[in-house]
Structure formats: C-alpha cells, structure tokens
Structure 1
C-alpha cells in the first residue's frame, strides 16, 4: 500500500511523494517495559539525532552511507530519489538525492522530547517571532527537516516536542521565520 504525502511548509512549492506504508510494531504482546525501553537505545543503531546533524546538504549519498550504513531506496520522483534508514522504534532518517547530492534531509523521532509546552509558554509564542525569540521561551529545538528550495534558499523546520506528542513548529527560510504552528491554549 502506498501513502501519498503532500505538503508546503512555506507556501513556496508543494511536494507530493508516494512512499510505501510500513507498519512497525512498537511493543509486542507479553514484552516487558524493560524490553520496550531498550528499543530506543541509540547504541544499537547509527540512526541518531547526532548523525542526522552531521549530514550536510550538498554532500554525496556515499557520505551518508559511510555514516549511517546502506540506505534503502524508497522512491524515484521528479525532484530526486528518496533514501531512508530505519532506527530503533519508529525513528528514521530520510534524504532526497538529486544529481548525487543530498538536497533535503528529514528525521522522525530521533530527538529527545524534552520541551515543556506549558499554557504560559505557549501564550507567549506569537506569529512573527524570530527563532531566537522562540528559543528564549522554549529552549533549543530539534531540526526535523532541512532543504534547499528550487531557488537555492535554505528551508529549515524546527520542532519543540514534548513526550505526549504536543509540538510547536517553526519554519524558517534563509534564517527568516515564515510560519509558526502551536497547539491551542
């Protein structure tokens, strides 16, 4: 079964991907809490947030494979080829490669979920704030997506996520905030 994803973080261009839907069980019946806690042990996999940060846009797929191991080819598309590496639990890293260069990188569930999104903090977050202003309130974010747009601009999606999944996201293009999304307070 394929799942279709269409998004436009900045309104600049919508991307549509068709990727295989893979269901991975988090915890099997009868497994203990200690077994499920071991699932996310970063020592078992090179697919970590630290290694995600080391991936540089413009580098070759071979450099990513030297760091993360052999990539799985997920899909060919007009804008490039999607490759992915699965981590523990539901975590992953994916890249889009065009002309043997990484033009986009994404990570899912690799960063610690330490944000404390209190009603007071969320009430302070306003449209038009800079990344530094939001960081002053919420602390350091995780980068979940980094890409170069067709016109060469750097697009970055920052995320502050807490353990229950609630998150604040900020999209910046060439260092300028273009969108902030937060839970209602």
Structure 2
C-alpha cells in the first residue's frame, strides 16, 4: 500500500486517502463531527453559554462565602489555622495558561502531572476523555482530550481578582467586539475556558470584584458572542 492509500473502516478494502465514502461498501469515512458540522458548532456554542452561566453562579456563591467570612473575621484572627496560604496552590493559573489547544495528554501531564479521569466517551477519532486536577481548596483545572489532542480547558477560581467592573462598564460591551476592545473597557480578564473544535474557537473571560460581584464575556472566533453579570452596581 502506498502513502496515498488507506483501508475502509468498515469493509477493510483499500481506498484512497481523503475520500468521503468507500467506493466498495459506501460507508462514510468521516468522523461524527465532520459529518455533522452544523450540529457540532451549535453544540459548542451551547456549551460555552452553559459554562458562562455556571461561572456567573460561582461568582454569586463566592460573594455569599465572603460575607460569611467577614462576619467571623475577629474570631479567626485570634485562632491559628492549618489551612495553606492562597498562593500555595499546586495547580496554578500560570500552569493553566501553559496548556494549549492541540497538546497531547503526555504534554499536559508534563505541566500538571497525572490527572484524574472524569469521563470517557466515543472511540477512535471521536474518543473524548476529560481529566481534572484539584487543589486542596476546591479550585481546579479540567482538560478535555479528543482524538488524542486537547480541545478544551477550563479552570475555576485559581486566581483572585479585584477588577472593579461596574454595570456602566458592563453595558459598554457589545457583541462583535474583540478581546482587545473589551480589555480597553474592563482591563485584563481571567481566562476560565477555551475550546478549539472543528475550527471553531471559543473563550470565556471573567472579571471578579473584591467581595464577589463579577461578569464574564464569551468570545467565538475572537468576537464577543455573549455576556453575563452577577451583582454588579
């Protein structure tokens, strides 16, 4: 068999590389995502929106937790605790930013160490495995591997912020803006999720104020596609 030939996944007969259907049995040679591009892209958009809403909810929980901590501040000052300092995280934001789309699991493992498998679906080119790395305080990183390559990464609360965003600034963000345009209004954001699947790229950035009020912006192929906010004034 020469370099321009391969075998059909169904009947096993020799066929030319790159053909969409086997000339012998008629079986489509493309994977599920290539056969259903429109459905896959819509699915990516829905996932990004769901993640954005979930992150906004996390910001609300953070606000409630902060209020509880404030009410017990006096007693906690006089009591020594065994909790680790906030900057002593094994899985940090800087390590999260080192993970890039298209990496293999071994490359990711070289940065973060062995991950814990959370889920596994599909087979062959469509096999998707999600791994997680969790810190002592619940902050975490998750990475999704599809066909042996990274197609999504996400992080939760790895880095504290005091973004000083307001409803006035939030209202200045419009669909179609680039990240640089958004940054000019809000300042540097914190990347919380990134996806690259079937040529469609998605990112979610978050801005968190001291005390918990926050907002996040979802980008698709470099342009604002959605935004959400929680408790901004």
Fold match (TM-score > 0.5): yes
Q: Any idea what SS the aligned residue of 1:38 has?
A: coil
2:201 is matched with which residue? 154
* TM-score, length-scaled by structure 1: 0.73
Identify unmatched segments of 5+ residues in structure 1.
Answer: 1-10, 17-25
Higher relative contact order (CA 8 A, sep 6+): 2
Which runs of structure 1 show a deviation greater than 6 angstroms over 4 or more consecutive aligned residues? none
Identify unmatched segments of 5+ residues in structure 2.
Answer: 1-40, 51-64, 66-74
1:179 aligns with 2:223: no
- Compare the two structures and name the one with the higher strand fraction: 1
Q: Deviations over 1:65-122 (max 9, x none)?
A: 1111110011113461110001231210001111221110000011222211234433
**In terms of Rg, which structure is larger?**
2
Q: Any idea what SS the aligned residue of 1:103 has?
A: strand
Q: Aligned equivalents of 1:173 and 1:127: distance in 2?
A: 10
The CA RMSD over aligned residues, in Å, is 2.7
Mapped contact 1:131–1:170 kept (Cα < 8 A): no
Mapped contact 1:158–1:171 kept (Cα < 8 A): yes
Report deviation, 1:142: 0.7
2:139 is matched with which residue? 91
1:166 aligns with 2:213: yes
* TM-score, length-scaled by structure 2: 0.60
